[in-house]
Amino acid sequence: MRSRFTFLFRQKLKLQIITTSLTGGLVAGYIFSKYKPIVHAETDISVKVGERISTLPTYSMTEVAKHTTAEKGYWLAYKDGVYDITSYVENHPGGKMVLRSAGKALEACWKIFTMHDMDHVYEILEEYRIGNLPPGIIIGKALLFGKENNFLGEREANQREQEKITDLFQYDPERLNIKENFFVRSKRPFNAETKPSVLVSSFITPVEQFFVRNHMHVPFVNINEYKLEIGNGKSTHSLSFDDLTEKYQSYTITSTLACSGNRRGAMNNEEQGTIRGAPWYVGAIGNARWTGVRLRDVLQSLGLDKEGKYVQFYGLDCETPKR
């Protein structure tokens, strides 16, 4: 397993849960979106998306599957709807990752990328609506030629395919005392802020009470196979976890870590409307002792300290740097 991010691990943190963020040149947290921190799922959805519109033409999934290039356009389907997202690709917060769904149904993709389960995402999708999938005889028994048969429309077939996708969230780590310590802002992905009474009870926020910010399911990490890749566009260097802990001096600092969207919930009002993103109150923040190696030391050892002016980070939950 390889990743492109510089890490800072917290003392006594279990290996399967790695929290990282950029604090004075040290990184703690997975950076999934370089655009808007749009997160949360399992909300009450009021926007009607993908329902049949009688005035639109009909396209089969076979026809949708033909549109996977810039020349033919990028089409996809969701529920009963067919969409041409060609002009939207460059504006997608996840970049060209959206093209993985070109020519396919979104149901399977969005089972993994659950952060799309929001009203404003559905509103954007509907703007690119061009047609409907063919109607089918939906789940249940229908009488045909004197026989009872089960028939599925293409929408239902797509939903069946979704059921075959492994639910990666089922492997998330067990979280204890959630109600006592947190206000949960979304369950899939799991995002929760520390309750104010808990937050002020200790100068150092305990690991089990630290706020949680995810964009997807928690990545699987085999520390024996883990590799940190650092490159400048010309060459790439690879360091193992042992390399980082044995070849470089470690330092411990006390520092506060906060989500940039902390207190976003206070911005929602009648005048400004609803702000996109997790509705944090005041608890997406914590204070901790962090132990790790200096990013500066790593870059110097690789001769990259004078290369460029900026460092860009990719977390384990980001499969490609081309975003």
Of 13-17, 64-68, 107-111, 120-124, the one with minimum mean pLDDT is 13-17
Supply the mean pLDDT for the chain. Answer: 78
Answer left, alpha or beta for residue 140, where phi above 0 means left and psi between -120 and 50 means alpha. left
9/102 same-domain check: no
- Calculate mean pLDDT across residues 192-197: 96
148/202 same-domain check: no
Considering only CA atoms, give the Rg of the chain. 23
- Calculate mean pLDDT across residues 160-189: 86
Question: Using 50, 70 and 90 to split pLDDT, how confident is the model at 318?
Answer: low
115/149 same-domain check: yes
What residues are paired with 80 via a beta bridge? none
Q: What is the pLDDT of residue 53?
A: 93
Contacts of 244 (CB under 8 A, 6+ apart): 7, 228, 293, 298
Answer left, alpha or beta for residue 191, where phi above 0 means left and psi between -120 and 50 means alpha. beta
Q: What is the pLDDT of residue 220?
A: 84
Q: What is the pTM of this model?
A: 0.67
- Residue 321 inside a domain? The answer is no
Q: What is the pLDDT of residue 291?
A: 96
Contacts of 269 (CB under 8 A, 6+ apart): none
31/67 same-domain check: no
Helices (H), 164-294: 178-181, 196-199, 241-247
CATH assignment of the domain containing 105 = 3.10.120.10
| Per-residue exposure over 291-317, b if at least 16 CB sit within 10 Å of its own CB, e if not | bbbbbebbbeebebeeeeeeeebbbbb
214/163 same-domain check: no
- Residue 209 inside a domain? The answer is yes
Of 1-15, 41-55, 125-139, 205-219, the one with minimum mean pLDDT is 1-15
Structural domain containing residue 57: 42-167
Distance CA 76, CA 85 (A): 8
pLDDT for 205 beyond 60 = yes
- Residue 184 inside a domain? The answer is no
Residue 259 in contact with residue 211, Cβ under 8 Å? yes
Residue 217 in tokens = 């399911």
- Calculate mean pLDDT across residues 293-317: 87
Q: What is the pLDDT of residue 37?
A: 34
CATH assignment of the domain containing 198 = 3.90.420.10
Question: Using 50, 70 and 90 to split pLDDT, how confident is the model at 4?
Answer: very low
7/46 same-domain check: no
Q: Which amino acid does the sequence have at 147?
A: K
113-168 pLDDT, tens per residue? 777 877 788 889 999 999 999 986 443 344 333 333 444 577 777 777 767 777 88
227/263 same-domain check: yes
Distance CA 75, CA 65 (A): 8
- Residue 144 inside a domain? The answer is yes
- Residue 10 inside a domain? The answer is yes
Percentages helix, strand, coil for the chain (3-state, rounded to 5) are 25, 25, 50
Peptide bond into 279 cis (omega under 30): no
pLDDT for 1 beyond 50 = no
Query: What does the DSSP 8-state code read for residue 88?
Result: G
Higher-confidence position of 18 and 124: 124
- Residue 307 inside a domain? The answer is no
Number of domains in the chain: 2
C-alpha dihedral over 200, 42, 165, 112, to 10 degrees? -60
Q: What is the pLDDT of residue 158?
A: 74
67/163 same-domain check: yes
89/10 same-domain check: no
151/198 same-domain check: no
Question: Using 50, 70 and 90 to split pLDDT, how confident is the model at 88?
Answer: very high
* CA angle, residues 174, 177, 179, in degrees to nearest 5: 115
**Residue 17 to residues 9, 186, 209, 237, 306, Cα–Cα distance (Å):** 10, 18, 14, 24, 32
231-269 pLDDT, tens per residue? 888 889 999 999 999 999 999 999 999 999 999 988 888
- Residue 231 inside a domain? The answer is yes
123/214 same-domain check: no
Q: What is the pLDDT of residue 7?
A: 36
- Calculate mean pLDDT across residues 301-311: 86
257/196 same-domain check: yes
Between the ranges 25-34, 38-47, 200-209, where is the mean pLDDT highest?
200-209
Q: Which of 3, 27, 2 has the alpha carbon at shortest distance from 292? A: 27
Q: Which amino acid does the sequence have at 102?
A: A
- Residue 221 inside a domain? The answer is yes
Query: What does the DSSP 8-state code read for residue 23?
Result: B
Higher-confidence position of 82 and 109: 82
- Chosen domain end from 167, 201, 221: 167
